[in-house]
Amino acid sequence: MKITKIIRQRACLNGSCPGLIITNDGNVLIQGRKVDVGGALEIPDHETVVAIPNEVFAELVRQYAG
């Protein structure tokens, strides 16, 4: 896997903000804050859930689509 593009909020200055990471193998990785869903969802051991504020996600998707 090779990272081909990183999409972050335009206001992100330090590079550790939530983002979308595009890879050469056809995947989109999502960086966000890990959350514990407390049993509300069945998440397999090999997966996790992250949280990104709605307004940040909307900006990332606009950049991705644009």
pLDDT digits (tens, 9 = 90+) for 13-44: 887 899 999 999 999 999 999 999 888 999 99
Say what the pTM is. Answer: 0.81
Distance CA 64, CA 7 (A): 7
The tokens describing 30, both together, are: 């999502």
Q: 48 pLDDT band (50/70/90 cuts)?
A: very high
CA angle, corner 50, sides to 47 and 55, nearest 5? 145
16 versus 65: the higher-pLDDT residue is 65
